[in-house]
Structure 1
Amino acid sequence: MLPPRILRRLILAPLVIVLTVVAVVTLPIWLLVVTAASLRLPPPQRRGTRLVWFAAAWLTLESMALVACLGLWVAGGFGGRLHRDEQQERHYALIRWFLSRVYGAAVRIFGLSVEVDEPARTADELSRRLTRPVIVLSRHAGPGDSFLLVHHLLSVYGRRPRIVMKAILQLDPSLDVVINRLPNAFVPRRTAESGILTEIRRLASDMDADDALVIFPEGGNFTPRRRLRAILHLERKGLAEEAARARRMEHLLAPHPNGAITAIESCPQADVVFVAHTGLDDLVTLGDLWRRLPMRAEIKARWWRVRAADVPRDRESRIHWLFDHWEEIDAWIAKNRPAPAAKT
């Protein structure tokens, strides 16, 4: 159960600013502590200092974003005009600035590189960019990849993302403030599927040419246990064909089709973009970062556009089509996924 919004604003947001000041003032001490803690690791694997530098950069950017949000709130008539188009654009610009700075910090500190394989820049492909809304169906592989996806949609492709997210993410103050001022949705953990579909329908139904609705059909990060659970769920429901296809996929969970189908029905003029990415798949928790963060973080991504006119029209064909693309993404990941980093 999350604390009420007013308490999050009055407690968590100021707490982040206080933590930022403390972190910056005590940064030399933290660097000494993590250096001592990682002395038992081989020199190339002493990643603690990089994590501390990145945490300090993140906290600083969070605090700057919160101060900017306060300024936008005041400029927006103390919240009364935040729904207007010009205020919405300012908030998208703030997210773009924040994510570009986080991305830059990751490049400098972690040696991050991102290689994106895009569709050929044909006349048809270029004519469809920013001329119609898109529904982005992406694999789910941890918060790092999700941030990079949103960063690229905003900064590289000029899109305005709309996302359905877990409510727990509102414990991040800057995310809580900015995302709740824009067309997005936070859903509690135990929300019924009908409630999630209602939010998807709301976000998809009024998209403009430069909007992008982002959906993660797997519903969570891949783990072998979740993969097996998803397969057994399909078998219990009598969906033998879907269960068999899910068993053939080694790197993805079986997709939940209802969210994607609801989005397509609510915005039939939208193209559909499938996104595959790999590189940080195994780095989900702080423990993963401490044990397996590579010297250079390399991410590969590929996306495919399906024109709205080419999307199947009936439900069964759409489910089969979704699994077809998911199998293609799984094969791409198998070919491009780096070797698992050794635990140290």
Structure 2
Amino acid sequence: MLTRVVRRVVIAPAVVLLAVLMWITLPLWLLGAAALSPLLPGRWRALRLAWIFVVYLTMEAVVLAVLLGLWLASGFGRRIRSPYYEGIHYDLVQGVMWVFFREAKRVLKLTILTDGPSPDAHPGVPILVACRHAGPGDSFTLIHALMHWYRREPRVVLKDTLAWDPVIDVLLRRIPASFISPDPAEGDDLESKIALLASGLDADDAFVIFPEGGNFTPERRQRAIDKLHRLGLDKMAARAEAMTNVLAPRPGGFIAALDAAPEADVVLVAHTGLDHLLTVGDIWRELPMDKRIVMRWWQVSRDEIPESREERIEWLFGWWEHIDAWIEDYDGHPT
């Protein structure tokens, strides 16, 4: 509770103040970035990234002001979670995503491609979206795709550390979303949170989960393999060792969502273009200049998904092996 007060009372006003100061001193920042650009790899790298930071910080400040206005208009928050205001907040998310990705694609020369059948191959049913997690920005790219290209209203499970961004903190507490801690001590409570969020999906909803539990790194991959060995799941550990591009999925949350939404189809999502960015140096050298992000979708009808827990774990591992093979093949033969 104390950390939420700090985010709302200290960090959010600080972001608005920083945005104002940035615009007051903007010519100096742009001149400095332009002067640095010839010294850095890439075409106008510093200047282009500086402009994206300006756009991001400006949007943060503007959205915080809009969110405050909506809170006041809703009777000091009394009606803020009503269907009417929920729809307004989803529209706000969609608008923010549209502006930011439009600028990112224009300034940073990003290209986002989708491969495979549309997730709406079976319209009129909710979907559970299980996505590979690797590199910065993949969750935002996925939400952008779901809202703009597939007209879905996402319900997202995300780490509680992301709540330190004041817009994410405020906005995602007004629409269906769940901040969870990766701390395994949460145990069943974590799965109950996921099940609650996945309940009551309608035909326009998309429940989003990242079964790996975190971005791919070699260290996390090895820890996941070691954990399977400690649990006596040596066959699963061997399968996880054979997957070199993804982490072994954690099935508990995904299965809880399946049980809570028995009418939903499942969409599996792989992507490439944002991976191999493991350190700050990697991000500075490669992200996100002149990148092509490819997202591959597979939709599985509910009647094709096994019923028992053991069969579902096997099914999920099989799909993660398929995703690993797709990434390996695509990275070796990009088109």
- Normalised by the size of structure 2, how large is the TM-score? 0.93
Shift of 1:103: 0.5
Question: Unaligned regions of 5+ residues in structure 1, if any?
Answer: 340-344
Shift of 1:34: 3.6
Contact 1:204 1:213 in 2 (8 A): yes
Aligned residue pairs total 333
Shift of 1:38: 4.8
Alignment of 1:172-187 (within 5 A): 172-187=165-180
Match of 1:140 among 107, 126, 133: 133
286 and 24 in structure 1: CA distance in 2 versus 1, 3 angstrom threshold: farther
Partner of 2:217 in structure 1? Answer: 223
Q: Which amino acid aligns with 2:18?
A: L
Q: Kindly provide the CA deviation profile for residues 46-96 of structure 1, in whole angstroms up to 9, marking residues without a partner as x.
A: 511111110000011111111111121122111000121111000000000
264 and 49 in structure 1: CA distance in 2 versus 1, 3 angstrom threshold: same
Shift of 1:280: 1.2
Contact 1:261 1:318 in 2 (8 A): yes
Contact 1:169 1:175 in 2 (8 A): yes
3-state DSSP of counterpart to 2:269: strand
C-alpha separation between the residues in 2 aligned to 1:294 and 1:183? 30
Match of 2:69 among 71, 77, 90: 71
Question: Unaligned regions of 5+ residues in structure 2, if any?
Answer: none
Aligned residues: percent identity? 46
85 and 166 in structure 1: CA distance in 2 versus 1, 3 angstrom threshold: same
Q: Kindly provide the CA deviation profile for residues 278-302 of structure 1, in whole angstroms up to 9, marking residues without a partner as x.
A: 1011336553332223641110011
C-alpha separation between the residues in 1 aligned to 2:33 and 2:294? 30
C-alpha separation between the residues in 2 aligned to 1:6 and 1:15? 13
C-alpha separation between the residues in 1 aligned to 2:240 and 2:301? 25
Shift of 1:6: 3.1
- Does residue 283 (structure 1) correspond to residue 282 (structure 2)? The answer is no
C-alpha separation between the residues in 2 aligned to 1:104 and 1:208? 29
232 and 284 in structure 1: CA distance in 2 versus 1, 3 angstrom threshold: closer
- Does residue 274 (structure 1) correspond to residue 272 (structure 2)? The answer is no
Shift of 1:31: 2.9
- Normalised by the size of structure 1, how large is the TM-score? 0.91
216 and 57 in structure 1: CA distance in 2 versus 1, 3 angstrom threshold: same
- Does residue 160 (structure 1) correspond to residue 159 (structure 2)? The answer is no
Partner of 2:251 in structure 1? Answer: 257
Partner of 1:5 in structure 2? Answer: 4
3-state DSSP of counterpart to 1:170: helix
C-alpha separation between the residues in 2 aligned to 1:66 and 1:172? 11
3-state DSSP of counterpart to 2:270: strand
C-alpha separation between the residues in 2 aligned to 1:99 and 1:38? 27
